[in-house]
């Protein structure tokens, strides 16, 4: 971890959470007032809860984000949500290109790039997700796939303040399986090289998160790996105690 990169621990609630889930957020806010974290803490609940959570988090250091946005500013796209709407509801971040979106909604790198661009235009910081499937890893295509995703999904104008990368092996998400320390180190070093090649110092400053079955037990080992600047957490972010346990391992 470079001194200049403050770690980020981000929670992705996916399609989970109702009004009553605010109890978990309240616990996080309370912990934040009592204990100083060495990382930024971000929660990405469903869009329906953003404003509610934003109001609850007023004055606290908890940041809020969306889980996806449309690639266009506005218009006739029934059921979609724009980056500006997320910002208006209290988000300061948005995740784009999550593998569940890429798989469930056939999102290509080109679509993800448009989303990242729309997010930046609306003033949101963007977390761009990349990662290989189990089959791609078996076929030794991991770095090739990730190289392509990085090149094609990240807009040219990206900077260290606007953009965070999340490496999430698809086979590690929600499976309880994690890559070895060596595998994580290899991919994160590769991503860093690619970012520096393309963005220079800005690439050096971009945070690279690891995501996929992070929990309070494995967090300290994963977060200590070179070029791992935080975590993107799914299942374990739903409970404040688990999510806090991960963030507090810094």
Site for ligand PGA, rule CB under 6 A: 12, 168, 173-174, 211-214, 232-236
Work out how close the CB of 197 gets to ligand PGA at its nearest, in angstroms, rounded to a whole number.
26
Question: Please, which residue, 128 or 232, has the CB nearer to ligand PGA?
Answer: 232
Question: Please, which residue, 173 or 208, has the CB nearer to ligand PGA?
Answer: 173
Give yes or no: 221 in active site. Answer: no
Q: How far apart are CA 110 and CA 114, in angstroms?
A: 6
Question: Please, which residue, 123 or 176, has the CB nearer to ligand PGA?
Answer: 176
Work out how close the CB of 14 gets to ligand PGA at its nearest, in angstroms, rounded to a whole number.
7
Question: Please, which residue, 199 or 243, has the CB nearer to ligand PGA?
Answer: 243
Question: Please, which residue, 84 or 163, has the CB nearer to ligand PGA?
Answer: 163
Residue 31 contacts residue 244 (beta carbons within 8 Å): yes
Work out how close the CB of 216 gets to ligand PGA at its nearest, in angstroms, rounded to a whole number.
12
Question: Which listed residue (132, 136, 168, 188) is catalytic?
Answer: 168
Q: How far apart are CA 246 and CA 31, in angstroms?
A: 13
Question: Which listed residue (24, 98, 132, 136) is catalytic?
Answer: 98
Residue 134 contacts residue 176 (beta carbons within 8 Å): no
Closest by CA to 125, choosing from 75, 73, 69, is 69
Residue with tokens 């507090």: 248
Work out how close the CB of 58 gets to ligand PGA at its nearest, in angstroms, rounded to a whole number.
26
Q: Which residue is nearest to ligand PGA (CB)?
A: 234
Give yes or no: 168 in active site. Answer: yes
Work out how close the CB of 91 gets to ligand PGA at its nearest, in angstroms, rounded to a whole number.
17
Residue numbers annotated as active site: 98, 168
């Amino acid at each position: 971890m470079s001194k200049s990169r403050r770690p980020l621990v981000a929670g992705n609630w996916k399609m989970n959470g109702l009004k009553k889930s605010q109890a978990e957020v309240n616990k996080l806010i309370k912990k934040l007032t009592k204990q100083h974290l060495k990382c930024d803490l971000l929660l990405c609940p469903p869009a329906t809860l953003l404003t509610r959570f934003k109001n609850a988090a007023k004055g606290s250091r908890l940041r809020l984000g969306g889980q996806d946005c449309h690639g266009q500013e506005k218009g006739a796209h029934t059921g979609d949500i724009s980056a500006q709407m997320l910002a208006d509801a209290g988000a300061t971040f948005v995740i784009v290109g999550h593998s569940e979106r890429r798989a469930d909604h056939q999102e290509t790198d080109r679509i993800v790039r448009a989303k990242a661009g729309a997010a930046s235009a609306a003033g949101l910081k963007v977390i761009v997700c990349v990662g290989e499937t189990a089959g791609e890893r078996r076929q030794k295509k991991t770095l090739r796939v990730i190289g392509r995703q990085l090149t094609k999904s990240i807009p040219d104008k990206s900077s260290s303040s606007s953009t965070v990368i999340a490496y999430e092996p698809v086979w590690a998400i929600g499976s309880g399986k994690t890559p070895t320390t060596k595998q994580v180190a290899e991919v994160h070093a590769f991503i860093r090289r690619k970012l520096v090649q393309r963005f220079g110092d800005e690439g050096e400053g971009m945070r690279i998160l690891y995501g996929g079955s992070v929990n309070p037990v494995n967090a300290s080992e994963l977060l200590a790996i070179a070029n791992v600047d935080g975590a993107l957490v799914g299942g374990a972010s739903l409970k404040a105690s688990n999510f806090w346990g991960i963030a507090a391992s810094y």
